Amino acid sequence: MNKQSDLLQQLSLEEQLQEAQTKIHLLETMMIEQSRLAIMGEMIGMIAHQWRQPITIIGMITNNTILDVQLGESTQEQLLEDMDLIDKQVHYLSRTIDDFRNFFRQNKLPQSVTMRDISNELLTIFGKTFDNNHIALTFEGAMELEFTTYKNEILQVFLNLLSNSKDAVELKAIENPYVCITVATSSNFIVFEIQDNAGGIPDEIIGQIFQPYFTTKSEKNGTGLGLYMSSIIIEKHLFGTITAANKNQGTSFTITLPIKQDPKRAYVY
């Protein structure tokens, strides 16, 4: 009799545990979704940056053409040349949309990538924003080393880190700001160091930055989910580690990932 009630109690405990785990997973998924939405908002701002120049060029060409036609100075040759220029700009505009859309597509399977591939995508997405803020973005180390991972997930993490560095550089009006990403290997792991010179994170709060909703920014500028989501992606999804430290007048994030990602172990959000 006693054994049976023990067994029943154990069963119900297990059920409760399972229920709690399902709830936690659901909550994490919701937070990650919320953070994706926040990133999307930021992305729209970046698209606006990327689009400003081609739209100005198209506007200028159109105005010149109108003027030439009004003054009777337009030639067929000139018109064709101008249309060709407009066409090139339109292609550029549409490619930007594709780049950003690819970024939000989830990778169902891990793929083989190098930091060179990732850096190219980061520069496409972030290059203009960093240029406009005069932040030097450099990459060093084992750029050609192949590793297997969920590319968009790791891109999302880099995007969060770069976006934080940009915010800190702006807030503290840093002179000659930079972010340097270094790639190295250590046995079966690939190690990334992301170093900025934006003043670092006060010691009193550095222990809290990976907690959900922890932010020092106003409601409009930050939800406090960027680093939380990055740690979930790195630790729970890609089975790596992410840590932060103050170094060289800035913040240094270290990310360690297994060089080969086992698709059976990982689960995609």
Q: Which residues bind Mg ion (CB under 5 A)?
A: 164, 226
Q: How far is the CB of 218 from ligand ATP (least distance, A)?
A: 9
Least Cα distance to 154 among 237, 44, 57, 53 occurs for: 237
CA dihedral (87, 92, 98, 102) in degrees, to 10, reads 160
Instruction: Please classify residue 49 by burial: count the beta carbons closer than 10 Å to its beta carbon, then call 0-12 exposed, 13-18 middle and 19+ buried.
Output: middle
| Span interacting with ligand ATP, options 52-60, 94-102, 181-189, 212-220, rule CB under 6 A | 212-220
- Find the binder of ligand ATP among 110, 177, 226, 240 (CB under 6 A): 226
160 is a site residue for ligand ATP (CB under 6 A):
yes
Nearest-approach distance from CB 268 to Mg ion, in angstroms: 22
Helix (H) or strand (E) holding 65: helix 2-70
Q: Does residue 224 interact with ligand ATP by CB under 6 A?
A: yes
Cβ(35)–Cβ(225) under 8 Å? yes
Report what 212 binds from ligand ATP, Mg ion, none; CB cut-off 5-8 Å by kind: none
Q: Which is nearer to ligand ATP, 227 or 257 (CB)?
A: 227
Q: Which is nearer to ligand ATP, 42 or 117 (CB)?
A: 42
Greatest Cα pair distance, the chain, in angstroms, is 104
**Binders in 229-268 for ligand ATP, by CB under 6 A:** 251
How many chain residues are in contact with ligand ATP, going by CB under 6 A?
21
Residue 225: HSE in the Cβ half-sphere, 13 Å Cα cutoff: 16
- The residue among 115 and 168 lying less far from Mg ion, judged by its C-beta, is 168
Taking the alpha carbons of 195, 199, 200, 201 in that order, is the dihedral positive or negative? Answer: negative
- Return the sign of the alpha-carbon dihedral for residues 233, 133, 130, 105: positive
Distance CA 45, CA 133 (A): 14
Under rule CB under 6 A, residue 162 binds ligand ATP: no
194, containing H or E segment: strand 189-196
Number of residue whose CB is nearest Mg ion:
226
Q: Which residue is nearest to ligand ATP (CB)?
A: 226
Task: Give the x/- contact pattern for ligand ATP in 192-211, rule: CB under 6 A.
Answer: ----x-x--x-------x--
**Which window, 23-31, 74-82, 93-101, 164-172, contacts ligand ATP (CB under 6 A)?**
164-172
Residue 170 lies near ligand ATP (rule: CB under 6 A): no
Contact 29, 237 (CB under 8 A): no
Binding region for ligand ATP (CB under 6 A) out of 18-26, 85-93, 126-134, 213-221: 213-221
CA angle 138, 53, 129 (to 5 degrees): 30
Binding-site ranges for ligand ATP (CB under 6 A):
38, 160, 164-165, 168, 196, 198, 201, 209, 214-217, 222-228, 251
